[in-house]
Amino acid sequence: MQIIPAIDIIDGKCVRLTQGDYQQKKIYNEHPLEVAKQFEDAGLMRLHLVDLDGAKTGAVKNWKVLETIAINTNLIIDFGGGIKTEKDIDIVFNSGAALATVGSIAVKDENTFISWIEKYGANKFLLGADVKEEKIAVAGWLETTDIGIYDFIENYVQKGIRQLFCTDVSKDGKLEGPAIELYKNIISQFPSLHFIASGGVASIDDLIELNAIGCAGAIVGKAIYEGRISVHEIAQINKNDIK
């Protein structure tokens, strides 16, 4: 299981939200590149970069942060938040992202997302499924739909998507542990999916449990910034694998 650190951006600064609530924002570092370099210096190879301004407004906003990190590190970056048009995708790839992270557009405009898969290839997208009570949430978690998580995944697996991460919004940012049962069910139903857990990770034990149930990856954010898990511990786990 690969552990992927996260950087969430508002106004160009590294922040974390609690349960996707923009009113529950905490700034951890005004210079995201410093944070990214700490990850790289510790031996990490991946970065999950989220443009929360973009997610809220519906257009990529913090691409300059992406560009700066991509130019100054060798991290493999997936970038999401506000990707709604091909222009947004081109900005993201031209700014240095290896993968475009897509969520809301896959929910609200399936035909457009399918056309992107056909044009760029399914392997260029990391599909994000944000969930509240097993229903898909969109627009930076501000809006809940009636679409069930399992139907959503099934639809896009059939379209070629193989990489997906799922965030239970009720867990995210609370450091109360990940949505183990939900993830077990997803992995059981979609064994060929490269499934990445996201949200709620508070300790090394959580990562060990996620590995044990078959997650291919785990995104870790607030636990790092609050000092619950060190980047060096994560790097060691990535290097040696979790047992």
C-alpha distance from residue 185 to each of 53, 174, 175, 237 (Å): 32, 22, 21, 25
Task: Decide: 195 and 215 in contact? Cβ < 8 Å.
Answer: yes
Dihedrals φ, ψ of 13, to 5°?
Answer: -115, 155
Classify burial at 29, counting beta carbons within 10 Å of its beta carbon; exposed 0-12, middle 13-18, buried 19 or more. Answer: middle
Q: For residue 205, how far is the Cα from the chain centroid?
A: 20
Tell me whether residue 109 is one of the annotated catalytic residues: no
For residue 46, give both structure tokens.
């991946």
DSSP, collapsed to helix, strand or coil, labels residue 203 as coil
- Of the residues 8, 51, 78, 206, only one is catalytic, namely 8
Three state DSSP letters for 131-184: EECCEEEECCCCEEEEEEHHHHHHHHHHCCCCEEEEEECCCCCCCCCCCHHHHH
Tell me whether residue 90 is one of the annotated catalytic residues: no
For residue 69, give both structure tokens.
């990190």
Cα separation, 133 vs 28, in Å, equals: 29
- Of the residues 78, 130, 172, 206, only one is catalytic, namely 130
58: left (phi over 0), alpha (psi -120 to 50) or beta: left
Q: Which residues are known catalytic residues?
A: 8, 130
